Structure 1
Amino acid sequence: MVDARNGNALIAANPDERRYPASLTKMMTVYMAFEALRDGRITLSTPVPVSYSAASMAPSKLGLTPGMNLTVEEAILALVTKSANDAAAALGELLGGGSEDRFAQMMTLRARSLGMTRTTFRNASGLPDIDQVSTARDMAILGQRLIRDFPDRYSFFSTPHFVFRGRTHWNHNRLLNEYDGADGIKTGYVDDSGFNLVASAQRDGVRLVAAVFGGRTGRERDRHMMALLDQGFAGLGVSPRDPPVARRAMPGMMASASAATLARTGRHHGRPVVVAGRAAPKAGGYRVVETTKPALLRMTAASKGGKPVPRTEQGDTSRGTAPVKRTAAVPAKAAEKPAAKPVKTASASRRAG
C-alpha cells in the first residue's frame, strides 16, 4: 500500500508476477478513449460502428448487432459498468482505424510509455489470448494515471448504472456501495486469473489505489480489498467508518448517459497501492491466507478459434500457461484452519453470467 500524499509504500506482495488481467484490460481501452477525447480526435457523441466481429464477442455484452451504432459515451459507460466485450471491441476498432489488432498494439505501446513494463495487450476487452498479461503493479499504475491524467473524466468509473436501449446495466464493482470513500475503478474475472480488482478510495484527504489479483471468489476478493484498505487508512491515522448503506438508486433516479451526470469525483491524484498474491498481516478484522495451487493452463482449440466461453464474472476471458495463485480474506479466528483447496479450473466450454 502507498500513501498517495508522499508515495510511501506500505504493502507490496508479488507485485510483478505476470497474471491475466481479464476485464482490467478495459481500463486501458478507456484510457485510450480519454486521450482521443482530450486531443479532439473524437467526441462523446461520435458514432461507434458495430462490426460483425465486435457483435460476435463472447459475453458479457450489450447485445449489439452488426451495422448498428452507439456513441463513444455509451461505449465507455458499457465498459465501466456492464464490462461489455462487444462495446469494447467496437470502441477498439474505432480508435484503431478499423482494426482491433492495431488498437491492441497501440495499447501496449502506450502502456509501456506509462511505465507498465510487464504488460502486453492483444485485444480491447480482455478476452482470451495467451500473450495478454499484466501485473498488479502495472494495473495500479494505470489506475493512478486514469485519476491523475483525466480528473474530469475519472468519475465515469463511479457510475452506478446506465440505461441503454431501455435496459439498465449496473456497475459490477460492489465497493462503490459497500466501502466508504470508494469511487472506482474496475473488476475482472476469468477462470485462469481468479477475481481481480483495481480500486480507489479516499478518506479525509488520503487516497489509496489498490490492485488485487487472483481472488478465489468475488466476495473474498472484495473483503480482501476492503481489509487492506482499512489497514492502509488506519496506518495513516484515518478513523474507521461504518460500512455505508447500499446506495442503489430507485428506477426514477436512474442515471442517464450524459457527461453532466457523471461529474462527481476524480479531482484527486493518487499513487498506486500494489497488493497481490501471498498472505498479508491481519487487517480490519481479517487475516489474508494463501490458498495457492499451481495449475498449468493451456490455450484450448476453442480459444485459438476465437470462440472462448469459460466461466467468467465479466464475460472477459484469458487463457495461457501460468501458475494461478488465489488468495482469500477470511475471519481472523478461522485463519488457523487449513485452507480449502482451490476449485479446479473450468473447461473452455463452460460459461457463467
Structure 2
Amino acid sequence: MKKAISIKSLVVFTLATALGLTSVAPALAAKDSKYAAIVIDANTGKTLHSSNADSRRYPASLTKMMTLYMTFEAMAQGKINKNTPVVFSKNAAAEPPTKIGVKAGGSISVEAAILSLVTRSANDAATALGEMIGGSEENFTRMMTARARSLGMKGTVFRNAHGLPNTGQFTTARDMATLGIALREHFPQYYSYFSTRSFAFGRQRIANHNRLLGRIKGVDGIKTGYTRASGFNLVSSVQDGNRNLVAVVMGGTSGASRDNQMASLIKTYLPQASRRGGGGDLIAKVESNLPEITTAKVQLPKRDVPTPAMRPQADVIEVAEVATQDDIAAVVASAAPSPKPVISAKPQPKIAMASAERFGGPIPFRIRKPKEAIPATAAEAVEQAYAAPEESPAIDAIKTASIPSGWAVQVASSPSDGEARAILDKTAKQAPQVLASASAYTVPFEKGGVTYYRARFAGFDSKDAAWSACNSLKKKKISCYAIAQ
C-alpha cells in the first residue's frame, strides 16, 4: 500500500512539475512586492503579458531612457549634434557612481555621453546632458515629465536625469514599455546606440551592463537599472524577422534572476507576436508637442580637460569626432534662454542633509515618507542612494590611440586640450590619405606650471613610415616631426 501511494505521489508531482514548468519563474518573481512585468507587441501595440504593469515603481537608471529620448530629440531638431561638447558642471561632476569621472569644467562629446549612458549608465554624464538641454537639471526634469505625458505615460514623474533614488520619481512597467517603443519608432537613426556592446573611453573599454545583448537572439537593447528601492530592472527590445517585442521586468531580486525572467518572457511570447504592423501607424504616438527645445549656452572652460578623474586617466575619446570650433560657434549662436517650465511642479518636500564622509560630503535625502517603502532614517537613505550597482562588467585595458606604440607624428602643442584636438581634426581633414590609418590623440605635459597638450597621430610602424607621413604633411604646409613612443 505504501509503495502504491509513493508511486501515485511521484506521478502527481511529475505531472504538476511538467505542467507548471513554464510558469515557475513568473510565479516566484511575483512573490516580490517590487515585481512588475509587461510584454508588448511592438507591431500592433497589443499587450501579450502583464503583471502589476500599472503599479507604481521606482525607475532607477531606466530614467536615462528619457534622458536619451530628450537628447535624441534635440539632435533631430538640429539643436545639438554628436560632436557638440557637453561641459560638466560641479553638480554633474559630483554625482555618485556609476560615473565616467569627468572633472568639473571638463567636457566630452554628445556621442561619448550617449554611449556612457547606454553602457556604464553614467550618472554624471546624464546630469551634464540634462543641464545642457534644459538649462538646469530641474527644468530638464519638467521637460522629461511633460514629454512623458505627451507619449501617454500617465504614471510617470521624473525628478532627476539619472535615476538615483528620489521619493517623488516613479513610473510603471507599462510606461517604460511605451518609452522603449517610442525610442525605436521616433529615432531609428539613433536607436542603434542601444545595441553597443562596449566602447573605448580613453584607456578603458567600457562594457554594456545589458547581458542579454548577444545572449538572446534578436535582443538589440535597451536599458538596465538598479537601486535597492527599485530592485533589478530591465527593458528589452527584440526583433526577430518581422516579429517585434518590447518587454519590461522590474523589481528583480538579482541581475541574473531578472535576466532569466526576461529570457523566459521573450521565449514564451515572441512566437505569439504579429508578423506585420498596423498599416504604418506609430504605436507610440505623441499626443501633444513640447515647446521647441533650446539648449543652454555652451560655456567652454578656459582649460578644457575632458579626462576622467579615475585611474587610468583618459587622453582621448575614440567614440566621436572632436568638436570643431565651428561646431561650438554654431551651438552658441543658436542658443536661447532656457525654456519656461511647461508643467506645474508640486512643492518639493523639505530636504535634510545626511553626513556621509565616505561619499565625499553631505548627501541630500527627503524626510517625507512616501506611499511606498523607502528608508526612514538618514543612514538608510545614504545606504540606498549609494547602493552598489548591479554586477559591473570588467573594464579591460585595451590598446587604443591614447596608449600608442611605435612611432607618431606630432603636429602641434597647445595650452588647450580642446584646441589641440581641433588642430588634429583640421589636419586629418587636410590630409585624409596621409593619415587614413593613423589615430589622433593628445598628450598632456607640464611646463612652467602650465599644462600643455601635444597633438599627435599614432599608428606608424617605423621611423621611416612616420617621417614619410610627416614629409607629406609638410608639402601641405603642415608643420610636424616624427617621434618614437
TM-score normalized by structure 2? 0.52
2:182 to 139, 145, 149: 145
Q: Give the drift of 1:164.
A: 1.4
Distance change >3 Å, CA 346–CA 215, structure 1 → 2: farther
User: RMSD in angstroms over aligned alpha carbons?
Assistant: 2.8
| Aligned-partner SS, 1:11 | strand
Q: Deviations over 1:190-237 (max 9, x none)?
A: 000000000011112101001111000000000000100100023349
Question: Where do residues 221-300 of structure 1 align in structure 2 (5 Å cutoff)?
Answer: 221-236=258-273, 256-258=318-320
1:307 aligns with 2:363: yes
Alignment correspondent of 2:73: 35
1:219 aligns with 2:219: no
Q: Give the drift of 1:92.
A: 0.6
The structure with the larger Rg is 2
Distance change >3 Å, CA 71–CA 320, structure 1 → 2: farther
Distance change >3 Å, CA 18–CA 306, structure 1 → 2: farther
1:16 aligns with 2:54: yes
Q: Give the drift of 1:12.
A: 1.1
Alignment correspondent of 1:94: 132
Counterpart amino acid of residue 322 in structure 1? E
Identity %: 49
1:352 aligns with 2:388: yes
Counterpart amino acid of residue 257 in structure 1? V
2:119 to 81, 102, 126: 81
Alignment correspondent of 2:211: 174
**Counterparts of 2:222 and 2:355 in 1: how far apart (Å)?**
28
Alignment correspondent of 2:161: 124
Q: Is the Cα contact below 8 Å between 2:354 and 2:382 reproduced in 1?
A: no
Q: How many residues align?
A: 269
| Aligned-partner SS, 1:59 | coil
Alignment correspondent of 2:83: 45
Gaps of 5+ in 2: 1-38, 276-316, 322-350, 375-379, 390-485
Distance change >3 Å, CA 56–CA 321, structure 1 → 2: farther
Alignment correspondent of 1:275: none
2:239 to 202, 210, 229: 202
1:69 to 86, 90, 107: 107
| Aligned-partner SS, 1:197 | strand
| Aligned-partner SS, 2:57 | coil
Counterpart amino acid of residue 24 in structure 1? L
**Counterparts of 1:350 and 1:89 in 2: how far apart (Å)?**
16
Gaps of 5+ in 1: 239-254, 260-298, 310-318, 325-343
Counterpart amino acid of residue 137 in structure 1? R
Distance change >3 Å, CA 348–CA 188, structure 1 → 2: closer
Counterpart amino acid of residue 78 in structure 2? G
**Counterparts of 1:3 and 1:197 in 2: how far apart (Å)?**
17
Distance change >3 Å, CA 214–CA 346, structure 1 → 2: farther
Q: After TM superposition, which residue ranges in structure 1, 4 or more long, deviate above 4 angstroms?
A: 303-306
Q: Deviations over 1:105-125 (max 9, x none)?
A: 111111111111110001110
**Counterparts of 1:106 and 1:49 in 2: how far apart (Å)?**
20
Q: Is the Cα contact below 8 Å between 1:175 and 1:222 reproduced in 2?
A: yes
Alignment correspondent of 1:112: 149
Bigger relative contact order, structure 1 or 2, given CA contacts below 8 A and separation 6+?
Answer: 1
Counterpart amino acid of residue 363 in structure 2? K
Counterpart amino acid of residue 75 in structure 1? A
Q: Give the drift of 1:162.
A: 1.0
**Counterparts of 2:213 and 2:101 in 1: how far apart (Å)?**
25
Distance change >3 Å, CA 61–CA 232, structure 1 → 2: same
TM-score normalized by structure 1? 0.71
Q: Is the Cα contact below 8 Å between 1:61 and 1:87 reproduced in 2?
A: yes
| Aligned-partner SS, 1:152 | coil
Q: Is the Cα contact below 8 Å between 1:302 and 1:348 reproduced in 2?
A: no
| Aligned-partner SS, 1:195 | strand
| Aligned-partner SS, 1:175 | coil
Q: Give the drift of 1:126.
A: 0.5
Distance change >3 Å, CA 209–CA 30, structure 1 → 2: same
Distance change >3 Å, CA 349–CA 207, structure 1 → 2: closer
| Aligned-partner SS, 1:199 | strand
